[in-house]
Structure 1
Amino acid sequence: MAAVRLDQLRKVYPNGHVGVADASFEIADGELLVLVGPSGCGKTTLLRMVAGLESISDGTLSIDGRVVNEVAPKDRDIAMVFQNYALYPHMTVAENLGFGLKLRGHKQAEIDRRVAAAAKTLELEARLAARPAALSGGQRQRVALGRALVREPKVFLLDEPLSNLDAKLRLSMRVEIARLHRQLGATMVYVTHDQIEAMTLGQRIVVLDGGVIQQIDTPMALYEQPANLFVAGFVGSPAMNQLRGTLHCEGGWTLATAHGAIALGEPPQAAAWLPWRGREVVLGIRPEHLQPLEAGAAALHARLEVLEPVGNEVFLNLRYGEQPLVARVAPRALPEPGSTLALGLAVERLHLFDAVSGARIGA
C-alpha cells in the first residue's frame, strides 16, 4: 500500500470553470479517506485526477513518493470501483474478476490464485460460475470490488459505489467495505454525496463545496466542531438548526432574532464571544441539544408542526416565527401538533458563526 499526497492540486476547464481549487492534503498509508459534498462540489473530479482520468491543471500529485502528474492511469498502480458496476454480461464472475489480470499478461495460475482469494474474501465462492444477470445488486457490487481487489494495487479509489443499491443493501455493503478495509489495511479513497456513508466509513473526511475544501477532520470532530456554516449544515442528520440574530450580553447572553430574544445563559465558550457583542451572528444548535422543558426557564418557545417517530427516537419539526427547527427526543408522550413548546438549549453545546463569512467563532 502507499500514501497519496496532493499539493495545491487544481483543475480548471477550458471555459474557465474551476472544478477543484488548490486541494492540499495527504492520505496516509492504509487510511480510508472519504471525499464528501453535494453534487458538483468537485469530489469526483478530484478522485479522477488521482486516477489519471482527468488532467491536472496545476499542483503536484504523488503516490508512494512518486510524482504521477504525467503518468498514465494504467501505470499508477491504482484500482477504481465505479458507480456503474460495468461487468461484462457474457462472462462469469470468475472471468470478470480475472479479466483485467489477463489483459496485463498474468499467467493463468496466478489469475486463478488471486480470483480464488478475492472470492473468498467477498463470499463469492459459490457464485464464480454465475453470470452478472443471475446476481443480486449486492453481489454485483462485490464482483466490482473484487475486480479491483485482484489487482493488489497500491491505492483503491471508489466513486459512489453504493448509490445504485437500495437502503438495506447499502447498509450491508457499508459494513462489507469497512470490514474489507480493516482486513486488507489498504489505502482507500471513497467518494460519496451521502454524509451518513461518510461518517460511518471514513477515518477522516474531506468536505468540499464549489471545488474548495471546507474542512478535513475525523467524523466526530466535523460533527462537534464544524469549521463553518456549510459544514455545520451538511454534516449531521437532521441538519444543525441555525438561527440568525444579534448577540448581546447584558445580565446573561441573548440572541436578538426577528421573532424575539433567545436566552443563551452563560456558555463555557462565551469568552470567545466577547468581541462579537452587538454584531450579527448565526447560532447553531444540534437537534439533540434542543429539548422540550417541563419546568424551568425556557430559552425560546416554538410551535410544534409535525411529529416523526422513527422507533428509538422522535423528530419534532417546529416553527420559531418563520424559522423551521428540529428537535431530536427519546420516545415519550408528546403534545399534539399545533401546540406551543417551551424549549431549552444545552448551552455547553452551542455553536456560533460569523454571519458574513460563515466561519466558526472560537475555532
Structure 2
Amino acid sequence: MAQVSLEQVRKVYPAAKGTQPHVAVAGATFDVADGELLVLVGPSGCGKSTLLRMIAGLESITSGTLRIGDRVVNDVAPKDRDIAMVFQNYALYPHMDVAGNLGFGLKLRGASKDEIARRVGEAAKTLELDALLARKPGALSGGQRQRVALGRALVRDPQVFLLDEPLSNLDAKLRTGMRVEIARLHRQLGATMVYVTHDQVEAMTLGQRIVVLKDGHVQQIDTPMALYERPANLFVATFLGSPAMNVLRGRVVRADGLSLDMGEGVRVPLGEGAVPEAWIDRDIAIGVRPEHLVPAPAGGVSPVVEMVEALGNETLVNLRLGAQALVARVAPHAAPSVGSAMPLALAAGQWHAFDAGSGGAVAGLGGFAAIGASPPLPSPRGGEGNS
C-alpha cells in the first residue's frame, strides 16, 4: 500500500464557445495516509469524482502535483499507477462466471493459471463468494454483484483502491450491508482507499477522515465527529447531519441582554458574554443540531408543532417559529401533538455561529439560548409576539 499526496491539484476544462473555462477542482491539497480510508463527499458537481479520476489517471491534471508513494504520477498512464478502481456500475461480463470475472484482469496481465486461481480463491474467501464462483452475473443479487466488482479490484493487490459511488445503485438495506462489508474489508487488508460519495451517511460511517468539497473547493478536512462538532463554515454544518442543522438568521441586538432579532417580533435570547461586542448590530446565523433543541420552561412564544415523524427509536418534530422552520429530535414517546406550542431551548454550549455573509464560523460564540419571542416587541399586526 502507499500514501497518496495532492499538492495544489487543479482541473480546468477549456471554455466552450461563449462561455468561461470551468474550474472543476481548484487547488486541492491533502494527503491520504498509507492504509487510510479517506472519503471525498459533496453535492453533485462539486468535483469529487473528477478528483478521483485524476488520481486514477482517467482525467489529466491541469496543474499541481500528484504522488502515489514516492513517485510523481501526473503523466503516468493509468495501467502503470498500480491502482484499482470500483465504479458505480458493476460492469461485469455477463457471459463469464464469477471466477472468470474475478480473474479476467489478471489474465490480461499475463498471470499464470495457478496465480490467478490462488488470488481468485483468496478474494472469494474474503468476500464470501466461495459458493458463487460458478454463477453468472445474471443469477446474482445486487449486493453479490457489487462484491464481485470489489473482488475484481482486490485480486489486483494494488497500492491504492479508488471507489466511485460504488453503492449508489443498491437499495437502502443492501447499502447498509455493503457499508459493513467495505469497512470490514478495509480493516482486514489495511488498504489505502479513497472513496467518493454524495451520501453523508456513507461518509460519516466509513471515513477515517473526510474531505468536504463544494464547487471544486475543499471546504474542510477532518475526522467525521470533528466535522460534525466543529464545522468550519455553514455549508459543512448543514451538509453533514441528518436531519440537517437548524439555522436561525437575524441581527445581534442588545435589548434585555443580548438577543438574536429574527424579525416579526421574534427574538432569541443569547445570554451575556455569548457574543463578542464586535458582533452587536451585525447579521449572524446560528446553527443548532436537532438533538440540541431541548425542552425549556413555558413562557413567551414557542415554536408550533407542524408535523411529528415517529421513527421508532426516536421522534422528529417539525416546528414553525415565525417564518423559521425547525426540526427537533426527541425521545420516542415525548412528542407533543400537532398544533401545540413546544417551548424549546438551545442546549448550553451546543450551538454554532456563522457570519451571515461569508458563512464562515465565528470564533468565541456559543452558550444557552431560549427560543421564544420577547414580550416587549410588538408584532406587525399589533399583538405581543408572533408564533
TM-score, with length taken from structure 2: 0.90
Corresponding residue pairs, total: 358
Is 2:152 the counterpart of 1:142?
A: no
Q: Given the superposition, is the C-alpha separation of residues 140 and 3 from structure 1 closer, same or farther in structure 2, using an over 3 Å criterion? A: same
Which structure 2 residues correspond to residues 263-342 of structure 1 after superposition, within 5 A?
263-266=269-272, 270=274, 273-293=276-296, 295=297, 301-342=302-343
Quote the offset at 1:323 in angstroms: 1.3
Quote the offset at 1:334 in angstroms: 3.0
Q: Distance in 1 between matches of 2:96 and 2:312?
A: 44
Give the structure 1 partner of residue 118 of structure 2.
113
Give the structure 1 partner of residue 7 of structure 2.
7
Give the structure 2 partner of residue 214 of structure 1.
219
SS in 2 for 1:41: coil
Give the structure 2 partner of residue 39 of structure 1.
44
Give the structure 1 partner of residue 243 of structure 2.
238
CA RMSD of aligned residues (A): 1.4
Q: Distance in 2 between matches of 1:7 and 1:325?
A: 41
SS in 2 for 1:265: coil
Quote the offset at 1:301 in angstroms: 1.4
Give the structure 1 partner of residue 28 of structure 2.
23
Letter in 1 for 2:213: L
Letter in 2 for 1:44: S
Q: Distance in 1 between matches of 2:239 and 2:329?
A: 17
Q: Distance in 1 between matches of 2:81 and 2:277?
A: 52
Letter in 2 for 1:286: R
Q: Distance in 2 between matches of 1:335 and 1:310?
A: 15
Quote the offset at 1:297 in angstroms: 6.1
Q: Distance in 2 between matches of 1:246 and 1:77?
A: 54
Letter in 2 for 1:231: V
Equivalent residue in structure 2 for 1:89, among 70, 83, 94: 94
In structure 2, the gaps of 5 or more residues are 16-20, 365-387
After superposition, the C-alpha distances for 1:186-207 in whole angstroms (9 at most, x for unaligned) are: 0000000000000000000000
Q: Distance in 2 between matches of 1:195 and 1:249?
A: 38
Quote the offset at 1:38 in angstroms: 0.4
Quote the offset at 1:52 in angstroms: 0.3
Give the structure 1 partner of residue 18 of structure 2.
none
Letter in 2 for 1:342: P
Matched residues, percent identical? 68
Q: Distance in 2 between matches of 1:240 and 1:296?
A: 24
Quote the offset at 1:264 in angstroms: 2.2
Q: Which one has the largest radius of gyration?
A: 2
Q: Distance in 2 between matches of 1:55 and 1:74?
A: 14
Quote the offset at 1:335 in angstroms: 2.5
Alpha carbons 1:247, 1:280 under 8 Å: kept: yes
